[in-house]
Structure 1
Amino acid sequence: LNPDLILGLTGCLGQQEGEKLLKRMPYLDFVMGPDQVEGIAQAVDRVRNTGKSFVWTGFDQEKVYSIPELSGDLPKAPGPSAFVNIIKGCDKFCTFCIVPFTRGREKSREPEELFEEIRHLVNHGAKEIILLGQNVNSYGKRGLKNPMPFHELLYRVAEIPGVQRLRFTTSHPNDFTRDTIRAYRDLDILVNHLHLPVQSGNNQVLRAMRRDHTIEEYLDLLAELKSEVPGISLSTDIIVGFPGETDEAFEDTLKIMEEVGYSSSFMFAYSPRPGTPANELPDLVPEETKKRRLQETISLQSRQTEQQGQSFIGKNVEVLIEGRSSKPGYIFKGRNPQYWNVNMQGGEGILKAGETVNVQVEQVSGHSLNGKAIV
C-alpha cells in the first residue's frame, strides 16, 4: 500500500537484540538503540540513500546528554501537555531490569538547554510540562558544566513564564529528597501527584530486587510528603511473583497498597529478562500463582480507585483540556492536578484545548471522572 514507507524499531529491545531483530523481522529498515534516537533523521536518510537495512546501537561516550539542534527539531504544535527529557540511563541496577544494560549510565542534559526547550514549547502552546527520565531525581548528579540538583531544576522551570502546570516521572525512593518534598510545598504549579514505584511491600523481596531501601524508609518518605502536601495523589509500580516471593511476602504488598492508598498502579506479574541478574535467581514462583496474585492486586487497586473516585462526585475539579473526548456523549477530555482523566460535557464552541476549566464531577468510571464543564 505504501512502498515508500520506512519502518524502524528503536529502544531497549533494539539495543539488546540488534541483528536478531532484522532476521526475525526482515521488513524493518533499521534497528536503533536508545542512544541513537536523536539521530533518527540520519537513519531515515541512510535508508533512502542506500536502500539497505542496518543496525545502529552502542552507547555514546559523552558524559552529558544533549539534544543540540533545538530550533529545527522541536514540535511547532506540541499540544497543551508536553514531555521534556531531562536525563537518560540508569545507575540503579535493579535485578529485574534491563535498562542499565540497554540505556547505559545516567546522563543529564544541561539546564540551559532544557530551559530553551521549555520556553519554545510554551511559546508554541504548551501549558503543562512533564519532565521525563528513568530516574528524574538523579538529575544533575554528575557531568554537567553547570551542576544543578533536581529540586533546584523544579524551581527554575517554575520561573519560566507561561508554564501553568509542572509534573515529573519517574522517581526512585532512594533519590527522592526532602528538598523535593519542599518544592511540592512551595511551588503552586507543581501539581499534587507523585508516581513513586514501590515494586513490593516486603523487605526480603526488595533486597532480592536490589532496590536498596526498606519498606519502612519508603513509608516514612510518603508520611513526610503527605504532611507537607495534604491531598497529594500517589501512584506506583508493583511486581508480583518475583523469585522467592512467598504468600506472606505477597500479603505484605497488599498491606502496603491499603496503607498508602494509591489512586492507580501499574501492576505486573514478574517475567524473566535475559541478561538481568534476576534471571539467575532460584525459587521461581509458579505461573498460576503469579496470575492469581496479579488478579488480587488488580482487584484491590480497582476497589481503591473506585473509592477515591467517589470522593470527587459533586465536587468541582480543575481540568486542563487536552483535546476531544472519545467517550460518547462527552465533548472534551483532560486531567485534573491529581492526574485523573476527566471527560466533560458542555463548552462546545466556547472552550478549546489548552484552556483550564472547572468541571463538576457526576460519575466515576475506573480512573476517569465524568462531568459538566462550568462555563
Structure 2
Amino acid sequence: MIERMFHIMTFGCQMNANDSDWLRRSLFSRGFTEAEKPEDASVFILNTCSVREKPEQKVYSLLGRIQNMTQGREDVLVAVGGCVAQQVGRGFFNRFRQVRLVFGTDGLASAPQALDRLTEETQLRMSLLDFSDEYPEKEQDWTDGEVPAAGFVNIMQGCDNFCAYCIVPYTRGRQKSRSTAAILEECRAMAARGTRDITLLGQNVNSFGQDAHGDGTSFAELLHSVADTEGLLRLRFVTSHPKDIADEVIEAFGSRTNICPRLHLPMQSGSDEVLRRMGRKYDMARYRSIVDKLRAARPDLQLTTDIIVGFPGETEDDFQQTLAAAREIGFAQSFSFNYSDRPGTKAEMLADKVSKEVMQDRLQRYQDWQSEYTEQVLQSMVGKTVDVLFEGMSRRQTGQMVPETPDSPKGTAGTADAGDMREAAGQQAPAGGETWQGRDVYGQLVHVRLPEGMNMQGKCMSVRICEAKKHSLTGEGVGDPW
C-alpha cells in the first residue's frame, strides 16, 4: 500500500486552479494528507494545461524531475490530469513508469476514487479520458480546510467556438452548461461558510445555457440570481467571448453593485483581417461598441484582455493595429503570448508562419507598453481609499510562494503574477506589526501593515493607498474591519 501523502502542481487557467482546490479537499475527506515539502509526498498530481506550448513542455520536464527526485522509491504514484492528459492520454504510461493515472477534464470527478484504489492496488494503471454527455458534477465537501475569502465556481465545461488557434474544444470537449440549481447551491454554501468574493468560471460564460444541456437560464439571469446570494460582497466572471456578450449582461454592471467593475474581454488582435483568420466572429467595430456600452453602464470599469502576437500571416501593420487598439481602449492588464501551433487546430495548417524572432520583437514591444500603462493605472490609485478584502498574511511572513499559473487572469502573463510574488516577498512588517495582503474590487493586490495579532482573514477594511509598485499597491487601514 502506498502512503497517502500527496502534492498537487497546477498549470494554466483559473479553472485548473479551482479544479485542484476541489481535488485537494476531496482527498482530505478520503484520509489523504498534504505533504509540507514535495519530496515527502508519495502521490504526485499534475493538473496540466496545453493551451500553449510552454506549459505542455513544463509537464514533461516536471515528470522527469519527479522521477529523478524519487529514484529508487517504489511507493511513488504519479497522476496527470487536465488538458495535456486529455491530449496525450495513455501515452504517459509508455514514457513514465511512475504515471499510473491519467484523467481528462471530465474524468476529474472520478479521480479521488481512482487514487483511493491505486494506493491499494499498486500494480494497477487507470485512464479516465472519456467525455461525458452531461456536465460532470463533483461532490462538494467543505467540511475540512480553511474557507477562502475569495473562491471560484464552475458554471460550464468545454467550448463550441473552435477558434483557429485553440485546442480547448479538443481537450475539454463541447460546451456543457451546469444546472442553475447546482450553481446557486454551491454559491450559497460557500457564502454561508464565509466566502465573500466569488468568480464564475467557464470557457465562454456568455454562452451559458445556450447549449443542449442548458436549463433555460441565460447568463444574465444567472448573474442576477448569484448576485442575490446572501453575504456575497463581490461577484466576478471569466472568460467572456465578445461575440456572445448580451446587452443584459452589460446592463448588470450598472444595476448590481456587487458585480466588480473589472472585466476580462479577450481581444486577441486589433486587426480585422487577423480576427477573421482566427475565426473570432467579431470585428474591431463590434469590439469597440461593446467597450463603449460597458463604460457607459459602469464608468469606473477596468478592462483586461488576451493578446496573441504573431498569428500566421500577421504583418507589421496588423501588429500596429493591435498596439493602437490597446492604447485606445486602455487595458489595465493583458495576457500576451506568442502564437504557437497546437495539434489538430486549423491554424496549425496555415501557411505564412511568423518567425520566432519577429514574434518575440513584437511581443516585447507590446509588453513594454502594457507594463508602462499598468504602472500608470496603479499610480492613479495613490491617495484613494478602497475597500480591501484580505486573503491572508503576506507571503514573506508565511514563507509561502504561489505555484505558477501562467494563464491566470490576475496579471500580465509571464510578468505580473511573478511580480506579485516578488513584491509580496519584499513586504516588511513594522516592529510589532504584521503585513496582510488582499485585493480591492478591481482584483489589484494590496499590502497593508496592521498591528500584530489582528486576524484579518476574510475580513474587509477601508484602506488609503500610499504607494504603487510595479504590480501591486501598499496602503494603510483607515477604519474598522467588517
Fold equivalence (TM over 0.5): yes
Partner of 2:125: 53
The AA in structure 2 aligned to 1:167 is R
Distance 1:367 1:338 in 2: 13
Partner of 1:365: 469
Paired residue total: 372
Gaps of 5+ in 2: 1-39, 43-74, 396-423, 430-434
Partner of 2:187: 118
Classify the secondary structure of the residue corresponding to 2:184.
helix
* Correspondence 1:303 to 2:372: yes
Distance 2:214 2:438 in 1: 38
Distance 1:179 1:145 in 2: 18
Deviation for aligned residue 1:19 = 1.7
Deviation for aligned residue 1:253 = 0.6
Deviation for aligned residue 1:208 = 0.9
Larger CA deviation: 138-147 vs 212-221: 138-147
The AA in structure 1 aligned to 2:260 is V
Please tell me whether the aligned partners of residues 388 and 441 of structure 2 are also in contact (alpha carbons under 8 angstroms): yes
* % identity of equivalent residues: 39
**1:336-347 alignment runs, 5 A limit:** 336-347=440-451
Partner of 1:318: 387
Larger CA deviation: 364-373 vs 308-317: 364-373
The AA in structure 2 aligned to 1:281 is L
The AA in structure 2 aligned to 1:110 is S
Classify the secondary structure of the residue corresponding to 1:125.
coil
**1:211-250 alignment runs, 5 A limit:** 211-250=280-319
The AA in structure 2 aligned to 1:309 is L
Distance 1:300 1:75 in 2: 44
Please tell me whether the aligned partners of residues 194 and 235 of structure 1 are also in contact (alpha carbons under 8 angstroms): yes
Partner of 1:329: 428
Deviation for aligned residue 1:68 = 5.5
| TM-score normalised by length of structure 2 | 0.75
Partner of 2:478: 374
The AA in structure 2 aligned to 1:335 is R
The AA in structure 2 aligned to 1:22 is F
Classify the secondary structure of the residue corresponding to 1:166.
strand
- Judged with a 3 Å threshold, the aligned counterparts in structure 2 of structure 1 residues 74 and 301 are, in CA distance, closer, same or farther, namely farther
The AA in structure 2 aligned to 1:194 is L
Deviation for aligned residue 1:216 = 1.1
Partner of 2:94: 23
- Judged with a 3 Å threshold, the aligned counterparts in structure 2 of structure 1 residues 75 and 162 are, in CA distance, closer, same or farther, namely farther
Distance 2:103 2:290 in 1: 38
Deviation for aligned residue 1:313 = 0.8
Distance 2:99 2:467 in 1: 45
Q: 1:67 aligns with which of 128, 131, 137?
A: 137
Deviation for aligned residue 1:2 = 4.4
Distance 2:200 2:214 in 1: 20
- Judged with a 3 Å threshold, the aligned counterparts in structure 2 of structure 1 residues 207 and 109 are, in CA distance, closer, same or farther, namely same
- Judged with a 3 Å threshold, the aligned counterparts in structure 2 of structure 1 residues 231 and 13 are, in CA distance, closer, same or farther, namely same
Gaps of 5+ in 1: none
Please tell me whether the aligned partners of residues 176 and 214 of structure 2 are also in contact (alpha carbons under 8 angstroms): no
Partner of 2:199: 130
Partner of 1:354: 458
Deviation for aligned residue 1:6 = 3.6
Distance 2:453 2:142 in 1: 33
Deviation for aligned residue 1:325 = 1.3
Distance 1:165 1:368 in 2: 20
| TM-score normalised by length of structure 1 | 0.95
- Judged with a 3 Å threshold, the aligned counterparts in structure 2 of structure 1 residues 229 and 164 are, in CA distance, closer, same or farther, namely same
Classify the secondary structure of the residue corresponding to 1:112.
helix
Distance 2:200 2:452 in 1: 31
Distance 1:175 1:75 in 2: 38
Deviation for aligned residue 1:159 = 1.2
- Judged with a 3 Å threshold, the aligned counterparts in structure 2 of structure 1 residues 130 and 311 are, in CA distance, closer, same or farther, namely same
Following TM superposition, the consecutive aligned residue runs of length 4 or more in structure 1 with deviations greater than 4 angstroms are 1-5, 73-76
Please tell me whether the aligned partners of residues 79 and 354 of structure 1 are also in contact (alpha carbons under 8 angstroms): yes
Please tell me whether the aligned partners of residues 167 and 190 of structure 1 are also in contact (alpha carbons under 8 angstroms): yes
Please tell me whether the aligned partners of residues 347 and 373 of structure 1 are also in contact (alpha carbons under 8 angstroms): no
